[in-house]
Structure 1
Amino acid sequence: MTRLGTTVDPRAPEYAQARTAALERLTALGAELAKALAGGGEKYTARHRGRGKLLARERIELLVDPDTPFLELSPLAAWGSDYPVGASLVTGIGTVEGVECLITANDPTVRGGASNPWTLKKALRANDIARENRLPCISLVESGGADLPSQKEIFIPGGALFRDITRLSAEGVPTIAVVFGNSTAGGAYVPGMSDHTVMIKDRSKVFLGGPPLVKMATGEESDDESLGGADMHARTSGLADHYALDEHDAIRQARRIVARLNHRKAHPDPPKARDPLHDPEELLGIVPPDLKTPFDPREVVARIVDGSDFDEFKPLYGTSLVTGWATLHGYPVGILANAQGVLFSAESQKAAQFIQLANQRDIPLLFLHNTTGYMVGKEYEQGGIIKHGAMMINAVSNSRVPHLSVLIGASYGAGHYGMCGRAYEPRFLFAWPSAKSAVMGPQQLAGVLSIVSRQSAAAKGQPYDEEADAGMRAFVEAQIESESLPLFLSGRLYDDGVIDPRDTRTVLGLCLSAVHNAPVEGARGGFGIFRM
């Protein structure tokens, strides 16, 4: 076995500095995550509990198997927007009766669980994950429908939610809806289109139009129960497949539905794996506070793969990109990790070959980002950096094995694309609090704008305002810095969550287990033309 050693010294000043910075970032992250956990706040949480109802995460906790993890996804959705952090929806992957499921739960303490534009984006991302990985989808529903003031951003694209439910069913992916309260207007189609629907006595209310709307539209007088109550849907309309007496009974029945699905993973679970030889706690001290300072990504690999065992591919060629084979929680993986930030022609060609090999062997790929992008300059342009970078991006684009991405440092420019950024549809993408991502670094971007402005002034024969230039550069640098941080990017669902570096192995293990619910099959040919 090729076991990775380590040069990390926990007593070194630079390690202590990096660890301190990491802990400060984690504290700030924790404060933002607490906002999502708080939902609508104490007032609305107390009101909800006063009605004898469980909170969204309490429902999930009862639904999943005891002592099993729940991997929450996109918890920071809507961060930095006008809407509450979390987007009034909880999504994630949990095990129910031994079956890995994609679970969504409306948070009724936030405007009654109403959906805003970020709720929609988060729900659609959850549906993508369920479809790609063939995970049964369980919806814990309690929502009054769209947040009406923002309907212009929800109504037209929102139809994709119902399209997804029917497509999941058509592809043999089970869908289950458990209705805990209101499921009105367009939301009525969630239980209406799901394979299995559970409703609760005196609690579930499912109708296209509530009594006020019916009165306005038809003049008919009606009440909630006769119009859309659980008893009516169980006895008269037939919409309710299962009739529960209370929330606990509804969750029990949902678990029994999953137990009877006869759902089987495409690949069996691997045997128990060996832990890394090196302490994952040390991941906090590996990434320097200043991302311009290089670090060896093998130190990260050594703390996340089984037994710290890593067989490197082309170790002497294209050395600013580390590639190699390992197992993670027993699952085989091919790893691509940026070493010195910049991607040259050799690294691009090496990556393309490695990705093709992974596809030949049906091995998932893990991308560990710390790149400033592809190298620029006359020498490199003449050497073919465009066609070689395109070769790498071509390979990533047309690869068919599951991809997982973790942004651990910088992820700038086209390097973000070549390392399988969000637009290249990795099955899962997470970020460390140390990560940054943008078209380029703040100083570089501000400098480019300054140069262009100077050239424009010179071309017009006008004097250049140095004071205004300094102000512009400072403003642009601050703007780009704020827009490249993990909280900003995660708020826009450009990742699936910002994670504690020490949890990386666990998170990736859960993701690898999830992707093996679907067949893992690589491309056999099928790549575009590689320009040589």
Structure 2
Amino acid sequence: MTPFQSRIHPASEAFQAQRAGMLALVDELRALEQRAADASARASASFARRGALLPRERLSRLLDPGRPFLPIANLAGYGMDDPDPSKVVPGGSQIAGIGFVSGVRCMVVVTDSGIDAGALTESGNQKLMRCQELALDNKLPFVHLVESAGSNLRKYRVEKFIRGGGMFYNLARLSAAGLPVVTVVHGSSTAGGAYMPGLSDYVVMVRGQAKAFLAGPPLLKAATGEIATDEALGGTDMHASISGLAEYVAEDDAHAIAIARDIMDNLGWQNKADDAAANAPAPRLDTEELAGVMVLEHRKPVDMREIIARLVDDSRWMDFKPDYGMATICGQGRIEGHTVGFVTNNGPIDPAGATKAAQFIQLCNQAGTPIVYLQNTTGFIVGRASEEAGMIKHGAKLIQALANSQVPQVTIYCGASFGAGNYGMCGRSFHPRFCFSWPNARTAVMGGEQAATTLEIVARQQAERKGRPVDEARLAEQKEEIVGTFERQASAFYTSGHLLDDGVIDPRDTRAVLAFVLATTREATARTPRAVQFGVARF
């Protein structure tokens, strides 16, 4: 492999303009993340009064200091729970990600009980289930720090209730797969939330704070007339000495987290293998330049090799069939020692590009090489020539290859992701192992202008067939409405808020994120959990 020779000039006016635009989007991302942290911190006085740690303090004590932590679904709920972007508190009232607990790589979810007492939201439910799915796919223990008032009955939706059962289905599957589920109950865990510790393998409860019951005192009185205190009905001492729900009793939050760390330490799941990143050379081309390399207007061309060269070790990579299907780029390189195949786009996917990518995906499967898709395409090419060249059948070959690929696949939305190009580049519906977006990414079935123009043409044709005049004012109003709808929903913040990826990341962090998830998938491949027929039953 030879080092890539960049044609980018960081001092140029175009680069600096692109960098400024990208950094403005990153600042917007960080402001949205901070909004959730600030909303949670406003409850600090009430937490202090009962001697409790704030959710982010609990997470900090749980994780190994100095080790990386990869947040998952950081914008969950943006544009979903509240359509007014200025009022949205993203995150789904859950703090989640992959990190290290006593040296063991784990999926960690912390209820953000500083926000609405940790009441479950639709986006929070979806985020929690996505984290459970990632734990299953990547053979990760699941550590859950729980404090939730349960479902928000004022915002009750029957579909949320029904879909929410997937959380408990996944917990049962994790345990049966031999992946330990460790739950620390810091406060209330009510109704369906009581099944979170109930379906866990190890439960730690904080004395005087933790409570778990299928029906809390108000519902119990309403349903049966029985009157009981929180502690008598579902307190820590009762569950530790009578029901048997709790294995361990902690005196406070810090003690509970220390117990959880001891549980993970005693599993003996620490990865003793040499870290492949230790001696891996950094890219020769500066990863900081990723903030200015990518164009912010999807109609402008960009050579995605410039992106790859700032991700791979020593900026070295092998370009696969560079002169065939040139708008589709395939090749191999290493990221912190991990061999990886890349598939990306310098334009629409044409018949030759689809054929090349399908062959490359099969070769990666033959070699057991993970694949990274860097999405930047306006879709499959259209037109008479491409139809005659067999675009449909060649595109189908690509779909067949990536849908049936057996190696880990990771997708990064870097720029445009339009039409079936989203599918052909392993979009979310094709179940990549991980999926992240850059803040400038745009996703839609087509561009807003294209959609509006298409519908305008149809409207004019209908009017002509019926012999009626065209309402020009109505057409102009319709066009503005359609373009606005498409533009709003194409935003990376909007799609991420609807859990259509695993989070929005700073482009400059892409190499670190890819190295982390590649190490996660490699560890999963090497790990052989001791699966059992059923999840571990509680006694």
Q: Normalization by structure 2: what TM-score?
A: 0.93
Structure 1 residue 262, shift from structure 2 partner: 2.6
Contact 1:180 1:203 (8 Å CA) reproduced: yes
- Deviation per residue, 1:95-150 (Å, 9 max, x gap): 01111100001111211101011111111111110000011000000001111133
Structure 1 residue 268, shift from structure 2 partner: 6.5
Residue 55 of structure 1 corresponds to: 54
Contact 2:80 2:123 (8 Å CA) reproduced: no
- Deviation per residue, 1:17-68 (Å, 9 max, x gap): 11111122122222222222223462x3432333322121211111010111
Q: Secondary structure at the match of 1:519?
A: helix
Distance 2:327 2:386 in 1: 15
Contact 1:264 1:517 (8 Å CA) reproduced: no
Moved more, 26-35 or 140-149: 26-35
Residue 298 of structure 1 corresponds to: 305
Distance 2:128 2:26 in 1: 26
Distance 2:168 2:309 in 1: 44
- Is residue 2:123 matched to residue 1:113? no
Q: Which amino acid aligns with 1:96?
A: V
Moved more, 160-169 or 216-225: 216-225
Residue 127 of structure 1, aligned match among 129, 132, 142: 132
Structure 1 residue 269, shift from structure 2 partner: 4.2
Structure 1 residue 271, shift from structure 2 partner: 4.8
**Compared with structure 1, are the counterparts of its residues 484 and 266 closer, same or farther at alpha carbon in structure 2 (3 Å cutoff)?**
farther
Q: Which amino acid aligns with 1:517?
A: E
Contact 2:293 2:306 (8 Å CA) reproduced: yes
Contact 1:77 1:491 (8 Å CA) reproduced: yes
Distance 1:129 1:479 in 2: 31
Residue 327 of structure 2, aligned match among 317, 320, 324: 320
Distance 1:213 1:416 in 2: 47
- Deviation per residue, 1:366-391 (Å, 9 max, x gap): 00010000011111111100111111
Contact 1:306 1:327 (8 Å CA) reproduced: yes
Residue 429 of structure 1, aligned match among 435, 439, 457: 435
Structure 1 residue 265, shift from structure 2 partner: 5.8
Runs of 4+ in 1 over 4 A off after TM superposition: 264-269
Contact 2:93 2:113 (8 Å CA) reproduced: yes
Distance 1:333 1:53 in 2: 44
Structure 1 residue 229, shift from structure 2 partner: 1.2
Distance 2:77 2:467 in 1: 47
Distance 2:273 2:379 in 1: 36
Moved more, 145-154 or 455-464: 145-154
What is the correspondence of 1:477-488 to structure 2 with a 5 Å cutoff? Answer: 477-488=483-494
**Compared with structure 1, are the counterparts of its residues 271 and 432 closer, same or farther at alpha carbon in structure 2 (3 Å cutoff)?**
closer
Moved more, 345-354 or 510-519: 510-519
Distance 1:268 1:238 in 2: 41
- Deviation per residue, 1:285-326 (Å, 9 max, x gap): 111221111011111111111111101111111110111111
Residue 28 of structure 2 corresponds to: 28
What is the correspondence of 1:32-43 to structure 2 with a 5 Å cutoff? Answer: 32-40=32-40, 42=42
What's the C-alpha RMSD, in Å, of the aligned pairs?
1.6
**Compared with structure 1, are the counterparts of its residues 266 and 187 closer, same or farther at alpha carbon in structure 2 (3 Å cutoff)?**
farther
Structure 1 residue 264, shift from structure 2 partner: 5.9
Residue 70 of structure 1 corresponds to: 69
Moved more, 72-81 or 484-493: 72-81
Structure 1 residue 87, shift from structure 2 partner: 1.1
Residue 7 of structure 1 corresponds to: 7
Distance 2:266 2:182 in 1: 12
- Deviation per residue, 1:234-284 (Å, 9 max, x gap): 122211111111111111100010011132669874252111111111111
Contact 1:402 1:426 (8 Å CA) reproduced: yes
Residue 339 of structure 2 corresponds to: 332
Distance 1:271 1:280 in 2: 16
Aligned length: 519
Distance 1:96 1:21 in 2: 37
What is the correspondence of 1:471-482 to structure 2 with a 5 Å cutoff? Answer: 471-482=477-488
Residue 426 of structure 2 corresponds to: 420
Q: Which amino acid aligns with 2:281?
A: R
What is the correspondence of 1:8-407 to structure 2 with a 5 Å cutoff? Answer: 8-40=8-40, 42=42, 44-83=43-82, 84-151=89-156, 152-263=158-269, 269-272=275-278, 273-339=280-346, 341-407=347-413
Q: Secondary structure at the match of 1:177?
A: strand
Distance 1:165 1:470 in 2: 52
Distance 1:82 1:424 in 2: 26
Identify unmatched segments of 5+ residues in structure 1. Answer: 522-532
Distance 1:49 1:506 in 2: 36
Contact 1:135 1:517 (8 Å CA) reproduced: no
Contact 2:81 2:123 (8 Å CA) reproduced: no
Moved more, 84-93 or 94-103: 84-93
- Deviation per residue, 1:177-197 (Å, 9 max, x gap): 000000111111111110100
Q: Secondary structure at the match of 1:469?
A: helix
Contact 1:36 1:76 (8 Å CA) reproduced: no
Q: Secondary structure at the match of 1:30?
A: helix
Moved more, 135-144 or 233-242: 233-242
Q: Secondary structure at the match of 1:399?
A: coil
Structure 1 residue 413, shift from structure 2 partner: 0.4
Q: Secondary structure at the match of 1:499?
A: coil
Residue 496 of structure 1 corresponds to: 502
Q: Secondary structure at the match of 1:166?
A: helix
Structure 1 residue 479, shift from structure 2 partner: 1.5
Contact 1:65 1:95 (8 Å CA) reproduced: yes
Distance 2:272 2:359 in 1: 27
Q: Secondary structure at the match of 2:267?
A: coil
**Compared with structure 1, are the counterparts of its residues 404 and 181 closer, same or farther at alpha carbon in structure 2 (3 Å cutoff)?**
same
Contact 2:217 2:230 (8 Å CA) reproduced: yes
- Deviation per residue, 1:394-439 (Å, 9 max, x gap): 1111101111011111000000000000000011111111110000
Moved more, 142-151 or 160-169: 142-151
Q: Secondary structure at the match of 2:439?
A: coil
- Deviation per residue, 1:196-238 (Å, 9 max, x gap): 0001111111111222333333333321212211112112221
Q: Which amino acid aligns with 2:465?
A: A
Contact 1:124 1:160 (8 Å CA) reproduced: yes
Residue 451 of structure 1 corresponds to: 457
Q: Which amino acid aligns with 1:16?
A: Q
The alignment-based identity, stated in percent, is 44
